[in-house]
Amino acid sequence: MTRFGAARLGLVGLAVAASLAACGQGEQVASPKDPSNESPCDLVPSQTIHELGFHEAGEETTDGCTWKSAGGGVELAVGVEPERSVQDFRDEAAKYSDFGELTVGEHPAVRANSGDPKADGKCELVVAANAEQAVSAKAKIPSGATADPCALAQRALDAAVPSWPAAE
């Protein structure tokens, strides 16, 4: 092998190593947060929960915490996605008919929905808490309502992100 061939092989090896090092890395976040040790029903400040129209305590579930309106027609579920990053959702963007990039609380986020949020009355937003962890907010409103479920999810996350502890 010539010196030129060895040098080129070395550069290819470096490129492959860099690509492999990038694999598994999630979204880079300027001010990473770590909400994983928070109680699920404390992920969104209680003042925000009340401002959004939820006056009952949230119910802790296996996926996080769910708040329901007095009549039960409006719901908000928020939970940590410990094994998924925002990049994981981007990688699966093709499976969502409603997918978009946005910023929530100065953190990168995505809207990932199987249907039309306004028509279906359901919306999921996922925000990057840190490079390897995301938090989802799923809002549900009654069919035919004029409110935007994505706006409800975003308002909750906009208030939630700054309240989470900084990642170490």
pLDDT tens track for 117-144 = 988 999 999 999 999 999 999 999 987 7
DSSP-based three-state secondary structure for 112: strand
CATH topology of domain 26-163: Jelly Rolls (2.60.120)
State the greatest distance between any 2 C-alpha atoms of the chain, in Å, as a whole number: 77
Query: H/E element holding 75?
Result: strand 75-81
The answer to whether the beta carbons of residues 139 and 145 sit under 8 Å apart is no
The predicted model scores a pTM of 0.82
**Mean pLDDT computed over 99-128:** 94
Which token pair is 82? 């410990």
Percent of the chain clearing pLDDT 90 (strictly above):
68
Closest CA to 122 of 105, 103, 136, 107: 136
What is the strand order of the sheet 133-140 is part of? Answer: 59-61, 64-68, 75-81, 133-140, 122-130, 107-113, 98-104
Cα–Cα distance measured from residue 64 to residue 39, given in angstroms and rounded to the nearest whole number: 8
pLDDT at 2: 53
